[in-house]
A and B are shown apart, each in its own frame.
Chain A
Amino acid sequence: MKKVTERLKRHAEHGKRWVIAVPTLWLMLFFALPFLIVLKIAFAESAIAIPPYTQLLTMADDAFDLHVYFGNFIFLTEDALYLTAYLNSLKMAAISTFLCLLIGYPMAYHIARAKPSTQTVLLLLILLPSWTSFLIRIYAWIGILKSNGILNNTLMWLGVVDQPLAILNTNVAVYIGIVYAYLPFMILPLYANLVKHDHSLIEASQDLGARWLQSFWRITFPLSRNGIIAGCMLVFIPVVGEYVIPELLGGTNSIVIGKVLWQEFFNNRDWPLASSLALIMLLLLMLPIHFFRKYQEKEWEEGK
């Protein structure tokens, strides 16, 4: 009996490690392993085979033969298409992050200032749309934005325009779609930050002679910096690789990295080139991801 309890105790101490083991295993299985596969393919040559690339390691004449190919990366620099795609993606991500911040900040601010009971309702309204399928919501925008869609019909009925506006299949439609889809990711971290602010700081600022706008710029805004960074990164990082929205709402001439990746992978069946494209994108995002992590940690510590 004593032995059993001792054993259980030892297990309890091991328990801590087991708790960490689960997410570690998860990350290994669904992040590290796929990443290694992509890494492997990026350094292979395209081939007409199943799978459609050469092996890194081959056995020939009882000896291992390591075959590393850098051609994909060189090719990426030779064709201007890829550079354009990267730059377009970064620009698209930057502009939509800025738009999300512009629209999301006032929303987050007012939710954080509302009565606690109202706050719950407003947050629910922010989250509610994401309960329906992402794809369906983006499709719905086609119905709204097309030439005989809801928006154009309304504008023409009101007499604002004579001709339907060509919004669908332009960059404007892409921005509308992205801002719509990613706005909650901006609002939630901003709200989480703003709701913690001590209102007496604003009163102190007013007491010392500052009007509302001055108090906002000199007190509220600087104190919400960590929330702004978190929100911006949560929007920026996924938007760089966004494929669905530019594909559905954008024109054929909108070249972004997500679409190019798709084309290389499925249309050209050039898996190695697609993998190296993805790898470079990841490298580009390392910097903002690093930033995000740093400020997230700060936010955590301050929240303690």
Chain B
Amino acid sequence: MIEPSLSRDGVDGHFLQIRSIVKTYDDVVAVNDVSLDIAKGDIFALLGASGSGKSTLLRMLAGFETPNSGKIILDGEDIVSLAPYRRPINMMFQSYALFPHMTVEQNIAYGLKQDRMPKAMIADKVVQMLRLVHMEKYAKRKPEQLSGGQRQRVALARSLAKSPKLLLLDEPMGALDKKLRNRMQLEVVDIIESVGVTCVMVTHDQEEAMTMANRIAIMEEGSIVQSGTPRDIYEAPNSLQAAEFIGSMNLFRGAITVDAQDHAVIDSDEINNQLYVSYGVTTAIEDKHVVFAVRPEKTLISRDQPQGEYNWCRGVVHDIAYLGGHSVYHIRLNNGKILYSFMVNSDRFADQPTWEEQVYVYWSDDSGLVLRP
């Protein structure tokens, strides 16, 4: 096995290390003992609702807020005590914060001028940045003469002009409408990847985080709930909070009755049949209460009773939300509980179950997850 290199990237191979950061405002704890490791070249998303502390954490990286305690080590250097203008970090603001009295060119050149770079070099760099974001034609325009997407490109160019070690994005798509958002998400990622800069972004939009980032940390009430790749977080949430935060989940509260090496069986009052997962859970003896979770797209609907004794239930179609690509079925069980199930609309006019029809919902043994309540 090869040891991780002990070069510039810090002791354990991480480019940005956030260590036990705490930030309180008066009595309110905004960020509570957060530690994160971010590798060079990562696009890392901090995902959370408003008030989760994700923006405060980002502002501490930029230097606009000072943590009460903890370390932020970037490329081997603790930057906590550095003023914002001394940090090798640039930020793209949510409102873009373009200087309204300057042209696109002057906006991009602003940071370079602060470094007292020779004029000719600044001009070259500005042209290079304009080309990078496809805004060559708009060099002489003022920000007010640009559309939302164009402003964003200028803001991105301005924050990349100084070739920062770390790029921060604050709700990068927050000011754009939905259609433009989808296009710009991919375009921004392309630009960031072509430059190869390490990037930390903040967003409340899980779709945006999953589209743009290769690693995500979910924040709630100032703490990291889970961090990992988008797939890890979606398919293997480590807690109820994480599971409920991303996507939707069908949840059954219950207790473990069988806990073997390669499977576990759960009894729940909320469903007639037992629930089965194809992996061992290793429960503590004193607390057998768990939550069984299965995602709607992993469940299937049929008119015939499924085989086997586990992982199915009977109900009636309560509601159908036709979304084009797929439909969301709301299935009402005997006890009133509603289950969600996605059905892919692969045929244009298929004979699908309709309102008030009796159906069975089932899923395979490896679809479910056992979470701690």
- Which A residues are within 8 Å of any B CB, using their own CB? 198, 200-201, 203-211, 214, 218-219, 222-223
Among B20-28, B89-97, B191-199, B221-229, the stretch that binds chain A is: B89-97
Question: Which of B83, B98, B110 has the most C-beta atoms of chain A within 10 angstroms of its own C-beta?
Answer: B110
CB distance from B282 to the nearest CB of A (A): 47
Contact B93 A203 (CB under 8 A): yes
CB interface residues, B 97-148, toward A, < 8 Å: 97-101, 110-111, 114-115
CB distance from B258 to the nearest CB of A (A): 57
Contact A200 B114 (CB under 8 A): no
Q: Could you tell me the distance between the alpha carbons of A204 and B95 in the complex, rounded to whole angstroms?
A: 11
Contact B91 A219 (CB under 8 A): no
Q: Does B322 count as interface, using CB distance less than 8 angstroms?
A: no
Taking chain A's interface residues, is the majority helix, strand, or loop, or is none over half, making it mixed? helix
List chain B residues, Cβ under 8 A from A222: 101
CB distance from A208 to the nearest CB of B (A): 3
CB distance from B58 to the nearest CB of A (A): 12
Which residue of chain A lies nearest to B86 when distances are taken between CB atoms in the complex?
A209
Q: Could you list some 25 contacts between A and B, CB below 8 A?
A: A198-B95, A198-B97, A200-B95, A203-B64, A203-B84, A203-B93, A204-B97, A205-B99, A206-B63, A206-B83, A207-B62, A207-B159, A208-B90, A208-B110, A208-B114, A208-B158, A209-B114, A209-B115, A209-B162, A210-B110, A211-B85, A214-B114, A218-B110, A222-B101, A223-B101
Contact A204 B101 (CB under 8 A): no
Q: Could you tell me the distance between the alpha carbons of A215 and B100 in the complex, rounded to whole angstroms?
A: 14
Contact B93 A208 (CB under 8 A): no
Q: Could you tell me the distance between the alpha carbons of A200 and B159 in the complex, rounded to whole angstroms?
A: 14
List chain A residues, Cβ under 8 A from B159: 207
What is the size, in residues, of chain B's interface with A at 8 Å between Cβ atoms?
24
Contact A210 B99 (CB under 8 A): no
Contact B111 A209 (CB under 8 A): yes
List chain B residues, Cβ under 8 A from A208: 85, 90, 110-111, 114, 158, 162
As a 0/1 sequence over residues 283 to 297 of chain B, the CB contacts with chain A under 8 angstroms (1 = contact) are 000000000000000
Contact A219 B99 (CB under 8 A): yes
Q: Could you tell me the distance between the alpha carbons of A201 and B64 in the complex, rounded to whole angstroms?
A: 13
Which residue of chain A lies nearest to B94 when distances are taken between CB atoms in the complex?
A200
Q: Could you tell me the distance between the alpha carbons of A175 and B345 in the complex, rounded to whole angstroms?
A: 83
Q: Could you tell me the distance between the alpha carbons of A214 and B114 in the complex, rounded to whole angstroms?
A: 9
List chain A residues, Cβ under 8 A from B93: 200, 203-204
A200-B93, A203-B64 are contacts. A209–B101 as well, Cβ < 8 Å?
no
Q: Could you tell me the distance between the alpha carbons of A218 and B113 in the complex, rounded to whole angstroms?
A: 11
As a 0/1 sequence over residues 314 to 333 of chain B, the CB contacts with chain A under 8 angstroms (1 = contact) are 00000000000000000000
List chain B residues, Cβ under 8 A from A210: 85, 110, 114
Q: Could you tell me the distance between the alpha carbons of A208 and B90 in the complex, rounded to whole angstroms?
A: 7
Contact B91 A201 (CB under 8 A): no
List chain A residues, Cβ under 8 A from B63: 206-207
| 4 A-B pairs closest in CB distance | A208-B111, A209-B114, A204-B97, A200-B97
List chain B residues, Cβ under 8 A from A209: 85, 111, 114-115, 162
CB distance from A255 to the nearest CB of B (A): 42
List chain A residues, Cβ under 8 A from B111: 208-209
List chain B residues, Cβ under 8 A from A223: 100-101
Question: Which of A204, A214, A223 has the most C-beta atoms of chain B within 10 angstroms of its own C-beta?
Answer: A204
Q: Could you tell me the distance between the alpha carbons of A200 and B83 in the complex, rounded to whole angstroms?
A: 16
Q: Could you tell me the distance between the alpha carbons of A218 and B109 in the complex, rounded to whole angstroms?
A: 13
CB interface residues, B 42-74, toward A, < 8 Å: 62-64
List chain A residues, Cβ under 8 A from B110: 205, 208, 210, 218
CB distance from B3 to the nearest CB of A (A): 36
List chain A residues, Cβ under 8 A from B158: 208
CB distance from A33 to the nearest CB of B (A): 43
CB distance from A141 to the nearest CB of B (A): 40
